[in-house]
Amino acid sequence: MDEQKSTSIQRSSTRTRRARKKKKNQLPPGAAIVLLAVMFGILLGYKNPGMPIFWITGLAFGYILQRSRFCFTASMRDPFLTGSTSLTKTVLAAFAITTIGFAAIKYGAFVKGLPIPGQGYVVPVSMATAAGAFMFGIGMVIAGGCASGTLMRIGEGFTMQMISLFFFIVGSLWGAHDFGWWKLNVILKGKSVFLPDIFGWIGAVIIQLLIIALLWIAADKWENRKNLVEN
């Protein structure tokens, strides 16, 4: 028995050594990719001086998304599948920060009598919004990610996401082709809602932050309840 144990231990240690030897050094290919990215950014600069900024920003966002595993889909999906609400609370925190930042920018323009930036994105809300959100939610759960998550996972080598990206492009082109009809006959039937027009600037910020806080508390209690049930 002792000989068998020692033999099995030796075999497992040999396998471990082989696995360690098979691990490749990723520094050379990583350095080559960085060099290619820099060269491509320089080439973009020759065509348009502003393009390198977009290139660097895109790479930075991609790196942050990949390292943080940040995904809007996961923030809505994980509470039901795994019970984890860490990403949900991260998204809520981001909403709270952007609420204050964008409100300050918009209010600054409003006080100076300038056009309020971003007002073109205040669009009518109707049952079409709810129906579209429901359909998009089903699609992004089946695909395993939203637009940012799909692009991130393609960079990681997930072939399934390439199929998702293909149909994402097809659907986007189809939607862009028919958007005029949908806007005229469905979207514009709803009512535009801009909270500062209803509650004032301070009231709108307070109400939105209060809603975010309530969602945070609900997410925290949901995770704690899931943990109690599992334990």
**Residue 16: which pLDDT band, with cuts at 50, 70 and 90?**
low
**pLDDT by residue (tens digit) across 166-216?**
888 898 899 899 988 988 888 888 888 889 989 999 999 999 999 999 999
- At 224 the three-state DSSP class reads helix
CA–CA–CA angle 115, 118, 123 (5° rounding): 115
**pLDDT by residue (tens digit) across 132-175?**
888 888 887 787 777 777 887 887 778 888 888 888 889 889 98
**pLDDT by residue (tens digit) across 50-100?**
888 998 988 888 888 778 777 777 788 888 878 888 888 988 999 999 999
Bridge partners (DSSP) of residue 125 are 191
Q: What share of the chain is helix, strand, coil (3-state, %, to 5)?
A: 85, 0, 15
Is residue 4 pLDDT above 60, yes or no?
Answer: no
- Cα–Cα dist 97/142, whole Å: 30
- Letter for the amino acid at 67? R
pLDDT of residue 108: 92
- Cα–Cα dist 230/224, whole Å: 10
Residue 145 is given by DSSP the state S
Paired tokens of 107: 């209010």
Residue appearing with tokens 């696995």: 19
Biggest distance spanned by C-alpha atoms of the chain: 88
Paired tokens of 8: 């099995």
pLDDT of residue 106: 93
| Residue 153: closest CA among 34, 71, 31, 85 | 71
Mean pLDDT of the chain: 82
What's the residue count for the chain? 231
Residue 71 is given by DSSP the state -
pLDDT of residue 92: 92
Residue 87: CB partners within 8 Å, gap ≥ 6?
A: 69, 70, 71, 74, 75, 78
Residue appearing with tokens 């600069």: 45
pLDDT of residue 68: 75
Residue 126 is given by DSSP the state S
- Cα–Cα dist 146/126, whole Å: 23
Burial of 222 (0-12, 13-18, 19+ CB in 10 A): middle
The least confident of 133-137, 168-172, 218-222, 224-228 is 224-228
- Cα–Cα dist 4/107, whole Å: 77
Is residue 14 pLDDT above 90, yes or no?
Answer: no
Range with the largest mean pLDDT of 7-21, 90-104, 109-123: 90-104
Is residue 222 pLDDT above 70, yes or no?
Answer: yes
Of residues 71 and 128, more confidently modeled: 128
Residue 191: CB partners within 8 Å, gap ≥ 6?
A: 124, 125, 126
Is residue 21 pLDDT above 60, yes or no?
Answer: no
Is residue 20 pLDDT above 80, yes or no?
Answer: no
